[in-house]
Structure 1
């Protein structure tokens, strides 16, 4: 009886014991590294700048990032199905314009403006769904096209000018309305000292987490993102679920627009332009949290908090505003290294 000797070359992972200190350290860095970075930066700014420790400053930080965080939640939903929504900033800006047009130009109450803005966001999401699901246009290209269409539509609606109370309109009349006090409380009001926009951010984060992590719909979205063909063969209506993700992203972006409109108190035609990059950044940063390597709600929320800590800390230290983009970009690159490079090495 003869025996054959295996010629299989052991992999790199097989040569290193699963319990080796090197692998344990690498696993800990991947899983907790970004949380450690967030805590370290917070401690640094808190110890070096006494004003950073003030509760009002911390709440203002959360208030500042609430719009980008809510938009980031929408991006997270679309990333879960394997796509990405690049139109969220434009939809938020459209929400600002629609809110101002409704209250200032048409003299309607805040509730009507809120409903109009959310409806506009849902319609934008449906447009994305039509392009992506029905016409089979790649997600990024479709939503980039939608972004430009919405930005142009926003300018057409207001003849290219910002809407302010008492302004002279295109027909020569004076705008009859104004932003109502109730509407302005969306961002400027507080409940037990906490800004309403922060409470909205927190509530939407919890709702989005429950939806993605604790319901069948959320699990299906992740399944579609992992393998759409296998999901289709399993009887899942892939197109319908992908459409749902983009409609929800549009609605979340419109809620961010409501907060932004309440914050600036006018229909600024440039509103929302800078929100896209921050929203995408916090969603991508979120993929690195706890080493999951996939979009997740709590990761997105932590990414937003991290961006807020950096922005507030650098502002208090007196650094020029343009340096913040460099630092935020470096943080995003670091997050991508955690999410893709290190995690792939761990599983190699």
Structure 2
């Protein structure tokens, strides 16, 4: 009898059968997303308008890109809490480079991306070399950047005609080519930030799911000691993850700057929490129960649909975070709870 019981999963795999519970577990996020779209479309028909849907994707593109970096750090068993501060600092750095230093877009973009990579390298140095726990290291970096970004302008936002601390007026302006990053569209319909989001998601999906490097990243998060014994360079893997996370956070900051056309000191206030939410929802996509870039992208769209729908229904702003948290708890509980009950 025990042998027959052991053979049941094998027969299911051969037959290709999926139990109803397993089907619900794998599709939980998609079912909830579909339910949200239907509810919001019925309550407010303008929600399903193509322009509004493109607006949602444009709004979540930054969260998805930053969340992809967080996902890579989760894959190695770490967690980057500094991404929101890196993105906000990148907003200020990009604006400062153009408005104060009078640089053009082709000089500003590489400069800001290098800034993000350097922050990721500093995080990796703290974590890998100095053995500081990842949460403490990235939290310290977050506080450092939050204060540092305010110093060059004495706490003021950066816009054309900025009065500098020495009393002079900044002579530069935001390069139109830079603004095109956040405001242009492809084929007149698809916002360029959405294209960037899809490119980042595709490249990182291939990297993490289809390459040896990706397998080593997940192996590091699963069993670091065994991965080291297998010959992998753990220090390099962790450094790669945090540098990539910092670079993607800077890319998100560039998109925000190009969209608003100025350096707003409060621009990155919600990016950390929304990116983390997208990454965590990603655990529930297809029932994978692990960090994955595809799931993070879907999670960002999920959060975007929810917030856009609540806004169109004139839901009070102070209830939106609660509702977002409740839906996140529901999605994860549905995914993990069904699996537990089945076991």
Q: Distance in 1 between matches of 2:147 and 2:121?
A: 18
- The separation in 2 between residues aligned to 1:155 and 1:218, in whole angstroms, is 37
Deviates more, 1:334-343 or 1:206-215: 334-343
Question: Corresponding residue for 1:28?
Answer: 23
Residue aligned with 1:268, SS: coil
- Stretches of structure 2 lacking an aligned partner (at least 5 in a row): 13-17
Q: Distance in 1 between matches of 2:211 and 2:335?
A: 25
Structure 1, unpaired ranges of 5+: 1-9
Match of 1:156, SS state, is coil
What is the match of residue 3 of structure 1? none
Question: What residue in structure 2 maps to residue 73 of structure 1?
Answer: 68
Question: Which residue number in structure 2 is paired with residue 173 of structure 1?
Answer: 168
CA deviation vs aligned residue, 1:69-125 (integer Å, no higher than 9, x gap): 111000000000011111100000011011011000011101111111101100110
TM-score by length of 1: 0.92
RMSD: 1.9
Residues 245-281 of structure 1 deviation map (CA, whole Å, 9 limit, x = unaligned): 0000000000000011112211111221210000000
Alignment partner for residue 322 of structure 1, among 311, 318, 334? 318
Cα separation, 1, equivalents of 2:340 and 2:209 = 23
- Within the alignment, does 1:109 sit opposite 2:107 as a pair? no
Equivalent residue in structure 1 for 2:294, among 286, 291, 298:
298
Are the equivalent residues in 2 in contact too, given 1:291–1:338 (CA < 8 A)?
no
| Aligned match for 2:222, one of 219, 223, 226 | 226
Name the SS for the 1:185 alignment partner. helix
Alignment correspondent of 2:277: 281
Show the counterpart of 1:145: 140
Q: Normalised by the size of structure 2, how large is the TM-score?
A: 0.93
2:127 corresponds, among 124, 132, 147, to: 132
CA contact (8 A) 1:169 1:175 kept: yes
CA distance in structure 1 between the aligned counterparts of 2:183 and 2:317, rounded to whole angstroms: 24
CA drift of 1:210 comes to 0.8
Matches within 5 A, 1:196-215: 196-215=192-211
Counterparts of 1:345 and 1:180, CA distance in 2: 57
Q: Which residue of 1 aligns with 2:159?
A: 164
Query: Paired residues, what number?
Result: 333
1:218-239 deviations in Å (ceiling 9; x for gaps) = 1110111111010011111111
Distance, in Å, in 2 between the alignment partners of 1:289 and 1:123 is 32
Conserved in 1, the CA contact under 8 Å of 2:28 and 2:335?
A: no
Q: Distance in 1 between matches of 2:110 and 2:220?
A: 31
Question: What residue is the counterpart of 1:249 in the other structure?
Answer: 245
Q: Please report how far the alpha carbon of residue 327 of structure 1 lies from its aligned counterpart in structure 2 after TM superposition.
A: 1.2
| Alpha-carbon distance in 2 for matches of 1:124, 1:289 | 30
The offset of 1:341, in angstroms, is 4.1
- Contact 2:207/2:214 (<8 A) preserved: yes
- Mapping 1:87-102, distance limit 5 Å: 87-102=82-97
Mapped to 2, the partners of 1:37 and 1:85 lie a distance apart of 28
